[in-house]
Amino acid sequence: MKPVTTNRRATGLIEAICEHGVGHPVYGSVDWLIKVSGDDTFGIHACDGCCKDNEWQIDTLKASVRRANEIIYQQKETLMRVKTMKEFFDDRPNG
Ligand SMILES: [Zn+2]
Ligand SMILES: [Zn+2]
């Protein structure tokens, strides 16, 4: 499956829309929601069979790991900037 677009539901669930207009929950998103809510029905959807191929599953997992890494890097950069500011003020003679 090659998702045409993705959609974010009010519950936070991310779904990929296939070429037939059917929404298929993205695997990393389903796992995460089940973990935080304890509700294991998030993966249930009116499926036309498009999300059943392994390559798509691996791609969506890779994409969610990549996104998680980006968030971690952004936070690291922010923390480093905060540290730099602190050093700047600490180094001032009458600081
Ligand atoms: Zn489809
Ligand atoms: Zn599906």
Choose from 22-26, 58-62, 75-79 the range with maximum mean pLDDT: 22-26
Q: Which domain holds residue 49?
A: 5-68
pLDDT at 87: 82
The pLDDT of 80-87, averaged and rounded, is 83
Domains in the chain, number: 1
CA dihedral 74, 80, 83, 89 (to 10 degrees): -100
Please indicate, yes or no, if residue 88 is contained in any of the structural domains. no
Task: Kindly give the distance from the C-alpha atom of residue 36 to the centroid of ligand 2, in angstroms, as a whole number.
Answer: 22
Q: Is 25 exposed, middle or buried (0-12, 13-18, 19+ CB in 10 A)?
A: buried
Please indicate, yes or no, if residue 91 is contained in any of the structural domains. no
Question: What pTM was estimated for this model as a whole?
Answer: 0.63
Please indicate, yes or no, if residue 77 is contained in any of the structural domains. no
Q: How far apart are CA 21 and CA 6, in angstroms?
A: 11
Please indicate, yes or no, if residue 22 is contained in any of the structural domains. yes
Give the pLDDT confidence of 2-32 residue by residue, as tens digits: 889 989 999 989 999 999 999 999 888 898 8
Please indicate, yes or no, if residue 89 is contained in any of the structural domains. no
Task: Kindly give the distance from the C-alpha atom of residue 43 to the centroid of ligand 2, in angstroms, as a whole number.
Answer: 9
Task: Kindly give the distance from the C-alpha atom of residue 22 to the centroid of ligand 1, in angstroms, as a whole number.
Answer: 6
Q: How far apart are CA 17 and CA 23, in angstroms?
A: 4
Please indicate, yes or no, if residue 64 is contained in any of the structural domains. yes
Please indicate, yes or no, if residue 86 is contained in any of the structural domains. no
pLDDT at 59 over 70: yes
